[in-house]
Amino acid sequence: MMEKMIFGRFIPGDSFVHRMDPRAKILFVFLFIAIVFVANNTLTYLLLLAFTFFVVFLSKIRLYFLVNGLKPVFILLIFTFMLHIFFTKGGDLLFSFGFVEVYEEGLRQGIFISIRFLVLVFITSILTLTTSPISITDGIEVLLGPFKRIKLPVHELALMMSISLRFIPTLMDETGKILKAQMARGSDIGSGPLKKRIKAVVPLLIPLFVSAFKRAEDLATAMEVRGYRGGEGRTRYRQLDWRMRDTLSLLMLVGFTAVLWYFRT
């Protein structure tokens, strides 16, 4: 179940999107989030959808995996869609049974909101699916660079983030192992009344904490031994490489914004 989730994971590859500079991709996503709110009629929403699928196409991530891996997100999507359908009134009454009445405006809003939600999830997923965690951290560290002046510990934050990301697969494995070990001892997670379920989590959480602390301690030792003492005087091994395609991608997005703006009502 857990292993099917692809939200936040990285699939190595060699597409146009994979090769983009992480800084460009991060800027792209933030800009895109803003642009989504420009759309306000059927045409602009359709354009938004088309643009998103174009990006998915460029990333060479199979749509099937994307849809399959984001299933939990779709449940949320259907829920918001329903909310709008049932509670937004306005325009013609389309149909009604019992106390439920569906209006034209409700349906419209429901569809629009869903599209907005969908494209946001798709585009952010494409960012994480095509960019290794370390590149994302690098990108963020450089983009946040100017904030060092106001004493924001940018380097420490970035390092913390990259280490957490590095340990996610390890901790996931660990959780699986401990879960199995306790299941083998007859602990029954995921059935029975709530109180029993909460109790059943304890044998899972305690070993997880213990081992996470142990790992953190070992890691701190390993870092100290290799001479780590904060960001001061450190040099960087990773150098980012901003190319023409990165500039072009951002320009393309700006162009697209202009088009959306033109067609919006």
Partner 1 sequence: MDILLQEVGYSYAMNTPFEKRALHNVNIHIPSGSYTAIIGHTGSGKSTVLQHLNALLKPTEGSVVIGEQQVDAKTKGKHLRDIRRQVGIVFQFPEQQLFDETVLKDIMFGPLNYGVSEEEASRRAHELVEQLGLPADVLEKSPFDLSGGQMRRVAIAGVLAMEPDVLVLDEPTAGLDPKGRREIMDLFHELHVKKGLTTVLVTHSMEDAARYADQVAIMHQGKCVATGEPKDIFSNEEQLLDYRLEPPRTIRLQRKFEEKMGIKLDSISLTEEALAKNLALAFLEGREAE
Partner 2 sequence: MNSIIMSFKDVTFTYTPDDQSVRPAVADLSFSIEEGEWIALVGHNGSGKSTIAKLMNGLLFPQAGEVAAMNLTMSEESLWDIRSQMGMVFQNPDNQFVGATVQDDVAFALENNGVPHEEMVVRVKESLRQVKMEEFLDHEPHHLSGGQKQRVAIAGALALRPRLLILDEATSMLDPQGRMEVIETIRELREETGLTVISITHDLEEAALADRIIVMNAGRKHKEGTPEEVFLTGNELTTLGLDLPFAMRMTHLLREAGVQVLGEHMTEDELVEELWTFYSKK
Residues 120-179 that bind partner 1 (CB under 8 A): 174, 177-178
The Cα–Cα gap between 146 and 262 comes to 34
Residue from 165, 183, 208, 252 binding partner 2 (CB under 8 A): 165
Query: Is 223 near partner 2 (CB under 8 A)?
Result: yes
Span from 91-99, 101-109, 111-119, 224-232 in contact with partner 2 (CB under 8 A): 224-232
Residues 57-86 that bind partner 1 (CB under 8 A): 62, 65, 68-69
DSSP string, 104-117: HHHHHHHHHHHHHH
- 3-state SS, residue 48: helix
Q: Look up residue 160 and give its two tokens.
A: 């913390």
Q: Which residue has the tokens 């009344």?
A: 193
Query: Is 187 near partner 1 (CB under 8 A)?
Result: yes
- 3-state SS, residue 101: strand
62 binds, among partner 1, partner 2, none (CB under 5 to 8 A by kind): partner 1
Inter-residue contact 128 to 8 (CB < 8 Å): yes
- Residue span 119-158 as binding mask against partner 2, x where in contact by CB under 8 A, dash where not: -------------xxx------------------------
Nearest to 85 by CA among 64, 67, 108: 108
Binding site for partner 1 (CB under 8 A): 3-4, 6, 9, 11, 62, 65, 68-69, 174, 177-178, 180-188, 202-203, 206-207, 210-211
